[in-house]
Amino acid sequence: MKVLAINGSPHMDEGNTAIILNPFLEGMREAGANVDLFYTRKLNIGPCNGDMSCWFKNPGECGQKDDMQILYPKFRDADVIVYATPVYYAGVTGPLKNLMDRQLPLHMLGELGAKRQKIVLVSTCGAWEMSMFEPLLVQMKALYTRSDGNSDFVGALLRPGADGMREMMKTKGRGLVEGILQAAKEAGRELVKEGKISEEIQKQVSRELMPRDAYYEAAKEMFEQIKKSMKE
């Protein structure tokens, strides 16, 4: 099984998104998958210029010769595509959106999903509420569950309240966060072995780390301290 994973966080392996993505990919590797991981931050990928030359002038070919040229064959070959992103204003990060838009030449030739592909979303957000992921889920489902399409949206690993995870790792809440990382790894194994990620495992990745009020109270205290230090 060939997996193409794109991490759209500017923080790459230091970010919250990688805290969930990396054990997920590890689980897939352990189960025998061949995983290729790219970081949008390291890639030079410009926005689509919308001239449609990839459809009407040079079908299937993008006129922009940047790092997208490295990814085109990888998108064609992948059995599984993993989009990983922090939520930025209720959507994917700008660089990841650029990369997604630039898949247009593959759609022209029907090459994206020429073989049936599985699509996974991995995302983290600052808000405590799961509802923050809804726009992203709508986008992914609209793109990847079309009746005339050739791809299956097979699950999402969504971690709300992600800004609390690192601090919790330093406290007695550590065990809870570790349980989430174990679930992310198990999701990777499941996907390779069973072709999907169970609802149960997806729920474990999203499960509550602390009550809503305690989370926002901790955030408020942090902001107060920052403001105080600015005044000093």
- Under the binding rule (CB under 6 A), the answer on residue 223 touching ligand FMN is no
- Under the binding rule (CB under 6 A), the answer on residue 90 touching ligand FMN is yes
35 to 74: interface string for ligand FMN, x by CB under 6 A: ----------------------------------------
The sign one gets for the Cα dihedral 21, 24, 28, 30 is positive
Q: Which stretch binds ligand FMN (CB under 6 A): 61-69, 99-107, 118-126, 200-208?
A: 118-126
CA triple 169-171-174, angle to 5 deg: 45
What is the nearest approach in angstroms of ligand FMN to the Cβ of residue 47? 17
Q: Residue 168: phi, psi to the nearest 5?
A: -65, -30
Distance (Å, whole) CA 172 – CA 210: 12
- Two structure tokens written together for 49: 């210029």
15: alpha, beta or left? (left if phi > 0; alpha if psi -120 to 50)? beta
Judged by CB under 6 A, the residue of 4, 5, 17, 122 near ligand FMN is 17
Which CB sits closer to ligand FMN, 41 or 141? 41
Q: Which residues bind ligand FMN (CB under 6 A)?
A: 9, 11, 15-17, 86-90, 124-127, 132, 162-163
